[in-house]
Amino acid sequence: MTNLIPTVGEQAEEMPCLNERQLRSLIEHTSDIITILNNDGAIRYESPSITHVLGYEPKELLGKDAFDLVHPDDRAATRQFFTHAIQAGKAGRPRQFRCRHKDGSWRVLEAISSLFLEEARPIGFIVNSRDITERKQLETQLAFAQKMESIGQLAAGIAHEINTPAQYVGDNIRFLQDAFCDLEKLLKSYEQLLDENKNETVAPALIAEIDATTAAVDLAYLMEEIPQAIQQSLQGIGRVTKIVQAMKEFSHPGTEEKVETDLNKAIETTLTVARNEWKYVADMVSDFDPALPPVRCLPGELNQVVLNLVVNAAHAIADVVGNNGKGTITVGTRHAGDWVEIRVSDTGAGIPEAIRTKIFDPFFTTKGIGKGTGQGLAIAHSVIADKHGGAISYETEMGKGTTFLIRLPFNPSTSQTEAVL
Amino acid sequence: MKKHILFVDDEPNVLQGLQRMLRSLREEWEMTFVGSGAEALQRLAQAPFDVIVSDMRMPHMDGAQLLTEVMQRHPEVVRIVLSGQANQEVVMKAVGPTHQYLAKPCDPESLKALVNQTSALRELLTDATLKGLVTSMKSLPSLPSLFLKIVDALKTPDASIQQVVQIVAQDVGMTAKILQLVNSAFFGLRRRVDDLPRAISLLGFDAIKSLVLSLHVFSQCDQAMLSKYALHTLWDHSFATGACARLIARLEKQAQPVVDAVVTAGMLHDCGKLVLATNLPELYGQALTLAREQGLPSWEAERATFGATHAEVGAYLLGIWGLPNTIVEALAFHHCPAQSQEKTLSPLTIVHTANALAHEQTPAAESLAFLLDLDYLTMLGQADRLPEWREQCMTVLQGGGQ
C-alpha cells in the first residue's frame, strides 16, 4: 500500500502528484496504522487510526519505543525482523506479532515495513500495520473445526473397528463356555473310569457311555476349534489394543513445540487410525525408508495432514471404483539430502485441470454440502509451509491418479523460519 | 423343520465366531456362512433360506446392496443386518431393504431370539407368494392427505416434535414404520418400544426428517385405490379402535405400558388389509365381493380368496419388522382370540373387543356377533364388563373425541 504514495519514488511520474494536504488526508483516513520509526525504534509519527485499533492517541506515543508495545514473547523476533529489513535495505514479508491495546488486551497485527529515506539515506522505517485479530481467531476456529470433523469421522470408523473384534471375541468366549461344559462332562466320566480301573471294576456300560458322550459333544470338533477360538480371541484383543494405542498417539494432545519424531511410526499410526476410511476401497502399500532419521516437527499437526491426504486418496479411489473392486494407496517416506519426503499416492481419477489451482484454497471442496469444510488441504499447506518451512505439491494424471508430495527440512530451526504464532 | 439361515460377513473371524457360538443350535438351524455378497447370492440361488443375516460394510458389494438384491430376487427371505457401523449416514442406507438391524457387538441371546422369532412368524403364513409379498414391502402406504401434511411439517423450520407425533398417530403406515425403526438397532436404540410419542422422541426430529424427506420411508396410497375399495374408512376405524382400546385399558386399570401397547395395536390391527389391497387389488376386490354376496365376515372371505387373513398378513409384517410381541400377537388373533395361548385379560382381549365396538359404530358395520367372541370373554370372566366398555366407547366415539 505504501507503494501507492507517489512521493516514494519511481512511479511518481506516472501518477499525478499530491499536495501535502491531500497526502495527509489520505494517511489519516486509511484504516491501516501508518507508523514512522527512527532507526532506534522510537516513534516519530503515528497515524490517527491507531486510536481505533489500539486505543492510544498518536500524541501519547510520540518518542516512545514502539517495541515496548509488542508482546514480550514476540518482541525480540519482531525487533530483529525490522533490523534485518534495514540492514538488507529492503522491505520484508508481512510479519505478525501481538501488540498491547490501551485496555491491556492483546491484538494481533500484521505489518510490512519499508525504509524511510532522507536524501537517499535511511533514517528509519515506515511500518504499515493492520489488525488481524479476528482473522486469526477465525483461522484457529477453522483449523479446530477441521480437526473435529476428521475426528468425528474417525470416531465412527474406530467404533466400527472395535465393534468387529468385540463381536467375535464375545462369540468365541461364549463358545468356550459351552465347550468347557461338554469337556467337563467327558472329564467326569473319565475320572470315574480311572477310579473303576483302580478298583479293577470297569463296567462295560461306562466305556459305552464315554464313547456316546465323545460322539455327542463332537470331541474332534472341539479339539480343533478350541485352540482357534482362543487364538482368534487374542487376535481380536490385539486389534482393539492396537487401535486404542494408535488413537492415543495420533491425537498428541498438547504438543505445541516441535519434537524429534519417528515419521514412519507416526504415519503408520495414522494409517491404523484411519483404516476404516480406506480398507473397503483400497489396498494400502507402505514404502517407508527404514533409514529415515528422526525429524523435528509438530507430530499432531503432521498426523492431521497425513490423515487428510489419506482420506482424500480413499475418496478419490471410491469415486472411481464405486463398489466394484479396490484401488491402491501408496504411502512412502524418503530421505533426500536436507529434506525428508512423504508421498501419498492414489489410483483415483486425478485432479481435473480446471480445479488444480484451487485445491489448496480454504473452503474449496469437491465433496457434497455437509461432507467437508474444504479446509483439509488448506490446513495441510499451512502446517507444512508455514509451520515447518516445508513444501507440499502434487503430481496428477487424469485416469491414473494423484501423488501428493510433502517435503520437510531436516532441522527446521536453521532453515527459513517463520515463527509460529 | 430346520430353519435355514445364511450369514454374510467379510471378516472371517466374525463368521467363525458366529459359527462356534451358534453351534449349540445346530439341531434347530441349518446354517451357512459366506464371506461376500456375491457368494451369498450364489447360495440363495441354489437353495431356499428363511433368514439372511448380513454385515453392512463389505468391499465390492455392501450390505445395503446385497439386501436390496435379495429383496428383488428372493423376496420371501427375512433380511437382518448385523453391523458394527456407527456412522449414521451409512446406517440409514440400510433402512430400505432391511427388516431388522442388530448392532455389533451383539449378545448371542438377542441374535438367537431375533432369528427364532422371525422364523417362527413364518409359520403364520404358509403361502410362499403371500410371504414374499409381505417380506418385500418397504412401507405401508399412508393416507395421501396425511402424507402431504407430514412432508410439509418436516419442511417447516419451526415445526415441533408434537406436530410430528400428532400427524403420525393418525396414520397406520407411518405408525408402523416409526415403530419398526425404533425397535431395531438402526439408531443404536434397540429397545422394545410400543408407544408412538416415545418412539418419535427417541428417533428425534432430525432423523425423522431425513428418513422421510431423503430416504422416503413413508409412501403414499394411490388415490384411485382408496376410493375403489373404500379404504379411507380403514383409517377412521383404526383410529377409533385405538381410542376404544385406550378407554378399555384405562377402565380396567391397566398399567401404562399396556395402555400404550393396546393403542398402537388398535391403530395397526387392520394393516394387513393395506398389504393385500395394495399388492393384490383384484383378489382383494373379489374377497370384498364374496363377503358382501355371501354375508361372510371379511376374514373368512379373505381366507377363501388368499388362503390367509389380513390379521395373519399384518401380524407377519409387523413381526418381521421387529415390533413387540404383544402387538404382533394382538394383531394375529384379533378375530379369534380363543386360539391364543393367553387366557387372561391381555392386550389381545382389549384389541379384540375394541375392534368390535368400533365397528358397531360405523354405518357399514359387520354385525357384532361376527366380531365379538362372547364365549372367550366369558371364559376370561370379562363378559359382565362389556356393557360398561360399550357404553363408554359409544360416548367417546359419538362425541368424536377421545
> What average pLDDT score do residues B281-308 get?
90
Q: Is the pLDDT of residue A370 over 60?
A: no
Q: Do B60 and A281 touch (CB under 8 A)?
A: no
- A167 → closest Cβ in B62, B65, B84: B84
Among candidate residues B273, B247, B98, the one with its CA nearest the CA of residue B187 = B98
**Is B70 in CB contact (< 8 Å) with chain A?**
no
Chain-wide mean pLDDT for chain B? 88
Q: Do A167 and B17 touch (CB under 8 A)?
A: yes
The alpha carbon torsion through B302, B305, B307, B313 (nearest 10 deg) reads: -40
B22: distance to nearest CA of chain A, Å? 8
Q: Which is more confidently placed, A287 or A359?
A: A287
> pLDDT for A108-125, tens place per residue?
999 888 888 888 777 888
Q: Do A170 and B17 touch (CB under 8 A)?
A: yes
On chain B, the residues whose CB falls within 8 A of the CB of A327 are none
Lowest mean pLDDT among A264-273, A376-385, B260-269: A376-385
> pLDDT for B169-188, tens place per residue?
999 999 999 998 888 877 76
Pick from A161, A171, A219, A231 the residue to mutate for testing the B interface (most B CBs within 10 Å): A171
| pLDDT score, position B73 | 92
In chain A, how many H helices and how many E strands? 12, 12
Encode B46-75 in three state secondary structure.
HCCCCEEEECCCCCCCCHHHHHHHHHHHCC
Q: Do B17 and A171 touch (CB under 8 A)?
A: yes
| pLDDT score, position A413 | 47
A156: distance to nearest CA of chain B, Å? 5
Count CB pairs under 8 A between chains A and B.
Answer: 92
- Whether the CB-CB separation of A306 and A189 falls below 8 Å is answered with no
Q: Strand A339-346 vs strand A401-409: parallel, antiparallel, or unpaired?
A: antiparallel
> What average pLDDT score do residues A178-196 get?
92
Q: Is the pLDDT of residue B16 over 60?
A: yes
> What average pLDDT score do residues B285-307 get?
90
Q: Residue A368 gets which letter from DSSP?
A: P
> pLDDT for B49-100, tens place per residue?
999 999 998 888 889 999 999 999 998 899 999 998 877 777 787 888 898 8
| pLDDT score, position A90 | 65
Phi, then psi, of A336 in degrees rounded to 5:
-130, 95
Q: Is residue A417 very low, low, confident or very high in pLDDT (cuts 50, 70, 90)?
A: very low
**Is A324 in CB contact (< 8 Å) with chain B?**
yes
**Is B179 in CB contact (< 8 Å) with chain A?**
no
On chain B, the residues whose CB falls within 8 A of the CB of A236 are 13
A348: distance to nearest CA of chain B, Å? 16
> pLDDT for B211-233, tens place per residue?
888 888 899 888 888 888 878 88
- Cα separation, B342 vs B332, in Å, equals 13
- Cα separation, B80 vs B140, in Å, equals 19
**Is A169 in CB contact (< 8 Å) with chain B?**
yes
Cα–Cα distances in angstroms (integers) from residue A364 to residues A246, A356, A367, A369, B217, in the given order? 30, 11, 9, 11, 34
Pick from A150, A158, A167 the residue to mutate for testing the B interface (most B CBs within 10 Å): A167
In chain B, how many H helices and how many E strands? 23, 7
Lowest mean pLDDT among A250-264, A378-392, B329-343: A250-264
> What average pLDDT score do residues A10-25 get?
73
Q: Do A229 and B20 touch (CB under 8 A)?
A: yes
On chain B, the residues whose CB falls within 8 A of the CB of A228 are 16
- Cα separation, A228 vs A223, in Å, equals 9
> What average pLDDT score do residues B357-382 get?
79
**Is B14 in CB contact (< 8 Å) with chain A?**
yes
- Cα separation, A186 vs A142, in Å, equals 66
Half-sphere exposure of A398 (CA within 13 A, CB side): 5
All 3 cell numbers of residue A103? 485496555
DSSP bridge pairs for B103: B83
The alpha carbon of residue A139 and the mean position of all alpha carbons in its chain are separated, in whole angstroms, by: 14
Q: Is the pLDDT of residue B162 over 80?
A: yes
| pLDDT score, position A89 | 66
- Cα separation, A276 vs B36, in Å, equals 18
Q: Do A323 and B61 touch (CB under 8 A)?
A: yes
Phi, then psi, of A124 in degrees rounded to 5:
165, -160
For residue B105, cis peptide bond before it (omega within 30 degrees of 0): yes
- Cα separation, B29 vs B1, in Å, equals 9
The alpha carbon of residue B256 and the mean position of all alpha carbons in its chain are separated, in whole angstroms, by: 21
Provide the ipTM: 0.74
